[in-house]
């Protein structure tokens, strides 16, 4: 078979075909069989096999195959490190052999029919450092596989890792159920004070997700009405169709972060043991709704026994599938299960949960555990989803149809509020409409009162933020947070997946500059699928550029995707959390290496992007001139800069009062950074919370900041503030403030009680 007929692009990108595997498969075994058939077809290989790894026995087991003897499924087993397949998984690397039988590590299994297939390619299936299994392709033609095949095959296993892991888990669960943990009783509760995580208001019915109220939404009278096995099977078919439609909708709306987020629920419908458990109970005389309740409760307990927190979270998927089955069995009105226009109360959420809830049009979220983690908060903001964090477990006992008012501006929650509170809520909603007026008044060019030009750029978290950026005349993207496609997925996105997202970003704001911040994870932004050693102080640990330089294969994949997406665009790349000149130079060298590789491969890319750095660490202040000689630009991330300058965790409410942007050390350091940039003719911008806050606009202009990168919805207000400032007065303000060293004096000079022109509180708190 000619090599040029291998369709790599289709194999990597056709998500619709992968979703179709769920639809056509009759069981989990059948699903895996369809995967091997799909891979074999795309790579034109007669043999493709999936081996699943079981940690307790440290064995790889042949679970699905196309081309080998089907009787060998379940019989062929290898220890970790045994054979080429076991070695690949042990060392977590692909292995490609032109004549496999000549490799001393090759292990032959008589009777499975692989003797004629000498060309051998195996890639491990892993999630972070967790071993899931391996996929093998074989061909009778010697030296069949190319270097490109190896790269593509590795990307394929990365894409499939989460789905195959869920399949393996569902196939192996056989533990006994544990007793459910009772939830606290509801006290006389009228008001809860929480912490705002994503701004907005909501007044709607509360719906508790998780716990004993999981099925309280179902009509208990209808649950005892007689249903048949055929009724149940129709409900299964309707649920499968519903999930596929939801996945399609969220892919269209949030293509940058929606990576088969409903796959676990679809797999539950293919799990023979789960479906058989329900059907066997029905055949034994249990009414189908009660059979669903019992099976789901049993499986939830099984999942809750798992020590891996990431896998334990999949119990939410089991609950979700149970609710949907009940809804489609009893009818939507009877089951009364509908997330639309509800305020969701939940103990904990992962980013994919926020995406699901957004796709189902919830009004807001009350989260009962955890801190205001920046990635979840920013994701909720980009989804325009009000979010409050409240340590009030008694909210889990809220009854269905309880009316709740949540003010995510202040972090307050009212249960069954009185008429006066509701009236005030509607008045505040009207106040927010003033933003629309400012939007109409906004102009494409921003200048101070005396005519000095200022550039306003947008901070982009998700592709959905581009609409507001365009409407509010952003002059480009000053900060694109690339970590979100990493945070909400179940494994590292491939180069191709990243390229598609980044290209959409650039095409979404054509002709304007776009600045990509490379992967900024760690601290409070943790990848659930990357199991590295637990750190006592993650904010001072393996995060941001340190992670990228340690795992250069991940870093290089991202940089290649950025360079490819930036072809013929005004492209800038910046590194987060730089602490030394050596660190910056090493990171920049990886950019050059990726550029040279793309050029050698003949792939279109941006050959000479501007390469700059985030200024976030106090360590750079004493070497700022040397950095300015090398970096093409600076971007001051004031959030982390203040955090590290003052040694205050900005997500810790116990020390939140000590997180002070107007601290004299912070203000003086900002001036020093701008002066160094000016000496070396480098652009410098502010992209953190201070840039959004009216209290600091005059000071920032006075020290020489002429570029602001801010939340798109704040662009009209910030432009209005800038247009009211005279630079000569701003410089006098700077001179006055720099003479002061007491916090109350500086606060007074800045006007800490200022409110913006809409009458709303400043965005920075």
3-class SS string, 88-153:
HHHHCCCEEECCHHHCCCCCCCCCCCCCCCCEEEEEEEEECCEEEEEEEEEECCCCCCCHHHHHHH
Pick the catalytic residue from 213, 375, 605, 606: 375
d(CA 65, CA 46) in angstroms, rounded, equals 10
3-class SS string, 688-748:
CHHHHCHHHHHHHHHHCCCEEEECHHHHHHHHHHHHCCCHHHHHHHHHHHHCCCCHHHHHH
375 is catalytic: yes
Domain with CATH 3.20.20.60 in the chain: 449-750
d(CA 124, CA 144) in angstroms, rounded, equals 19
Which of the residue ranges 203-217, 239-253, 298-312 has the most confident prediction, judged by mean pLDDT? Answer: 239-253
| Residue 146, pLDDT score | 87
| Residue 168 token pair | 């393996």
CA 742 to each of CA 161, 530, 664, 671, 745: distance values in angstroms, whole numbers, following the listed order: 55, 44, 8, 18, 5
d(CA 209, CA 339) in angstroms, rounded, equals 10
Lowest mean pLDDT among 196-210, 587-601, 718-732: 196-210
pLDDT at 765 over 80: no
Domain with CATH 3.30.450.40 in the chain: 3-172
**394-415 pLDDT tens trace:** 888 888 889 999 988 778 898 9
**Stretch (H or E) spanning 414:** strand 412-415
| Residue 762, pLDDT score | 35
- Confidence band, pLDDT 50/70/90 cuts, at residue 212: very low
Pick the catalytic residue from 48, 96, 227, 687: 687
- Confidence band, pLDDT 50/70/90 cuts, at residue 176: very low
Q: Which of 545, 376, 529, 362 lies closest to 462 in space, CA to CA? A: 376
Q: Which of 128, 126, 161 lies closest to 35 in space, CA to CA? A: 161
Average pLDDT over residues 195-220: 69
CATH class, domain 218-336, is mainly alpha
Is pLDDT larger for residue 10 or for residue 510?
510
| Residue 8 token pair | 């790599």
Lowest mean pLDDT among 49-63, 306-320, 341-355, 486-500: 306-320
| Residue 399, pLDDT score | 83
d(CA 348, CA 365) in angstroms, rounded, equals 11
Q: Which fold has domain 449-750?
A: TIM Barrel (3.20.20)
Which of the residue ranges 121-135, 280-294, 684-698 has the most confident prediction, judged by mean pLDDT? Answer: 684-698
CATH class, domain 3-172, is alpha beta
Lowest mean pLDDT among 207-221, 356-370, 454-468, 521-535: 207-221
pLDDT at 118 over 60: yes
| Residue 383, pLDDT score | 80
| Residue 183, pLDDT score | 44
- Confidence band, pLDDT 50/70/90 cuts, at residue 7: low
Domain with CATH 3.50.30.10 in the chain: 183-210+339-432
Lowest mean pLDDT among 325-334, 371-380, 555-564, 575-584: 371-380
Is pLDDT larger for residue 32 or for residue 161?
32
Q: Please, which contacts does 535-540 make with residues 24 or more away whose CB atoms are closer than 8 Å?
A: 539/643, 539/649
Q: Are strands 453-460 and 476-481 parallel, antiparallel or unpaired?
A: parallel
**685-723 pLDDT tens trace:** 999 889 999 999 999 999 999 999 999 988 998 999 999
**604-638 pLDDT tens trace:** 999 999 999 999 999 999 999 999 999 999 999 99
| Residue 754, pLDDT score | 36
**Stretch (H or E) spanning 407:** strand 403-407
| Residue 195 token pair | 């912490």
| Residue 526, pLDDT score | 58
| Residue 184, pLDDT score | 45
pLDDT at 337 over 60: no
**303-327 pLDDT tens trace:** 777 766 556 666 777 877 887 888 8
Contact of 69 with 112, CB cutoff 8 Å: yes
Q: In sequence order, what E strands does 256-352 have?
A: 342-346
CATH 3.20.20.370 fits 183-210+339-432, yes or no: no
| Residue 67, pLDDT score | 92
| Residue 742, pLDDT score | 94
Contact of 715 with 476, CB cutoff 8 Å: no
pLDDT at 265 over 70: yes
Average pLDDT over residues 289-296: 85
687 is catalytic: yes
The pTM for the full model equals 0.60
Which of the residue ranges 90-99, 264-273, 353-362 has the most confident prediction, judged by mean pLDDT? Answer: 90-99
């Amino acid at each position: 078979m000619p090599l040029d007929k291998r369709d790599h692009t289709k194999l990597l990108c056709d998500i619709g075909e992968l979703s179709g595997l769920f639809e056509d498969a009759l069981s989990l075994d059948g699903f895996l069989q369809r995967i091997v058939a799909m891979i074999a077809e795309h790579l034109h290989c007669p043999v493709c096999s999936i081996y699943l790894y079981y940690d307790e026995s440290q064995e790889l087991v042949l679970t699905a195959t196309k081309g080998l003897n089907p009787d060998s499924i379940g019989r062929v087993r290898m220890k970790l490190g045994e054979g080429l397949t076991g070695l690949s998984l042990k060392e977590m690397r692909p292995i490609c052999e032109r004549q496999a039988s000549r490799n001393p590590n090759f292990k032959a299994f008589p009777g499975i029919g692989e003797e004629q297939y000498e060309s051998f390619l195996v890639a491990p299936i892993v999630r972070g450092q967790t071993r899931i299994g391996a996929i093998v392709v074989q061909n009778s033609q010697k030296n069949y596989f190319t270097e490109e095949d190896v790269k593509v095959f590795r990307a394929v296993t990365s894409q499939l890792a989460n789905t195959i892991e869920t399949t393996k888990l569902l196939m192996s669960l056989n533990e006994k159920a544990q007793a459910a943990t009772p939830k606290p009783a509801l006290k006389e509760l009228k008001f809860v004070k929480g912490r705002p995580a994503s701004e907005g208001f909501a007044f709607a019915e509360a719906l508790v997700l998780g716990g004993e109220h999981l099925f309280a939404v179902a009509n208990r009278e209808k649950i005892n009405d007689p249903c048949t096995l055929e009724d149940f099977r129709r409900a299964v078919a309707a649920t499968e169709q519903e999930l596929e439609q939801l996945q399609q909708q969220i892919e269209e709306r949030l293509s940058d972060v929606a990576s088969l987020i409903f796959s676990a629920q679809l797999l539950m419908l293919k799990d023979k043991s789960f479906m058989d458990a329900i059907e066997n109970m029905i055949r034994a005389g249990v009414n189908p709704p009660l059979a669903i309740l019992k099976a789901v409760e049993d499986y939830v307990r099984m999942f809750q026994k798992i020590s891996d927190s990431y896998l334990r979270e999949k119990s939410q998927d089991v609950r979700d599938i149970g609710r949907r089955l009940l809804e489609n069995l009893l009818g939507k009105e009877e089951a009364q299960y509908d997330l639309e226009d509800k305020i969701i109360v939940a103990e904990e959420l992962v980013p994919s949960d926020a995406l699901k809830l957004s796709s189902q049009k919830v009004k807001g979220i009350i989260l009962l555990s955890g801190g205001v983690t920046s990635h979840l908060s920013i994701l909720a903001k980009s989804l325009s989803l009000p979010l409050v964090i409240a340590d009030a477990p008694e909210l889990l006992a809220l009854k269905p149809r309880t009316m709740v008012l949540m003010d995510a501006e202040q972090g307050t929650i009212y249960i069954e509020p009185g008429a006066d509170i509701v009236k005030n809520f509607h008045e505040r909603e009207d106040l927010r409409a003033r933003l629309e007026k400012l939007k109409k008044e906004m102009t494409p060019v921003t200048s101070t009162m005396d005519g000095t030009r200022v550039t306003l750029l947008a901070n982009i978290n998700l592709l959905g933020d581009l609409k507001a950026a365009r409407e509010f005349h952003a002059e480009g993207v000053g900060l694109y947070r690339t970590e979100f496609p990493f945070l909400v997925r179940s494994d590292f996105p491939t180069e191709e997946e990243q390229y598609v997202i980044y290209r959409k970003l650039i095409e979404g704001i054509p002709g304007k500059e776009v600045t990509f911040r490379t992967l900024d994870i760690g601290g409070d932004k943790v990848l659930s699928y990357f199991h590295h050693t637990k750190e006592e102080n993650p904010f001072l640990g393996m995060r941001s550029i340190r992670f990228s330089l340690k795992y250069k294969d991940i870093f290089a994949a991202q940089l290649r995707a950025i360079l490819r997406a930036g072809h013929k665009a005004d492209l800038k790349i910046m590194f987060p959390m730089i602490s030394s000149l050596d660190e910056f130079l090493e990171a920049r060298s990886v950019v050059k290496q990726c550029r040279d590789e793309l050029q050698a491969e003949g792939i279109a890319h941006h050959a000479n992007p501007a390469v700059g750095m985030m200024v976030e660490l106090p360590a750079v202040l004493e070497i700022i001139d040397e950095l300015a000689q090398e970096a093409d630009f600076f971007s001051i991330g004031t959030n982390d800069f203040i955090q590290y300058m003052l040694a205050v965790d900005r997500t810790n409410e116990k020390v939140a009062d000590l997180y002070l942007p107007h601290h004299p050390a912070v203000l003086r350091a900002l001036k020093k950074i701008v002066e160094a940039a000016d000496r070396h003719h480098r652009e410098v911008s502010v992209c953190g919370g201070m840039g959004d806050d009216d209290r600091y606009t005059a000071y920032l202009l006075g020290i020489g900041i002429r570029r602001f990168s801010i939340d798109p919805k704040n662009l009209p207000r910030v432009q209005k503030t800038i247009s009211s400032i005279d630079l000569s007065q701003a410089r006098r303000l700077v001179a006055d403030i720099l003479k002061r060293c007491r916090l109350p004096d500086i606060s007074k000079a800045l006007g800490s009680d200022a409110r913006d022109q809409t009458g709303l509180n400043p965005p920075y708190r």
